[in-house]
Amino acid sequence: MTNAAVRVALRMAAFTACMCISGCVATGTFNPAPEGPGTARTPTGESPAPQAAMNKVVLGKSTKADVAAALGPAIVVSFDSGYEVWVYRWRGADTTTRAATEVVLLFDPSGRATKARLRPGYETPK
């Protein structure tokens, strides 16, 4: 493959990525796998209600390890700033993310939870 051809291939990859960022991701649905990250589980294997999961977190005190031990692995979004957002999700009336209930936690760069919110699911318009 010539350099030009390589360049074209890379550029096509870039194009595909751009298309995906603008048009493929965020389909608005998710796979609520019972054992996957983001499904809250207590150490005894129970599935806590969203508010009960929120109650496990003490702002300014709970660490990532504390929360992982209490609720299991979260969906983690890490930022270059050192902040992390952790998400636990409960399926709603359908598999859309709009219908899902979410507990969202913010960890500051020191690793302690500084914010938490419970987002209720919303009915998906017919």
Partner 1 sequence: MLSPSNCTAVAAQERPRQAPQQITVTGISRQDVEKPYRKMIQGIEYFEQARAALAPAASLRFKLLPRKPGTEMDHIVLEVIGSTFSCTVPVAPDHTFVLAQDVKAVEEDAVVSTNRKRLSMTWRADIRAPGLPAHIRRLGDLRLECEVGLAAGLVSNSSPVGKIFDLFTDSKGYCHRKDSLYLYFAERPIFSVTLVAGARREALPIDRLYASASDDPGLNRDLPFCDCEMLVDRTYFLPLGDRSWPDDTRVEFEFMDDGP
Residue 43 vs 125, nearer CB to partner 1: 125
Residue 69 vs 118, nearer CB to partner 1: 118
Least Å distance, CB 69 to partner 1, is: 22
Residue 6 vs 17, nearer CB to partner 1: 17
Which string of b and e fits 57-93 if b means at least 16 CB within 10 Å?
Answer: beeeebebebbeebbbbbbeeeeeeeebebbbbbbbe
**Amino acid occupying residue 52:** A
Least Å distance, CB 9 to partner 1, is: 12
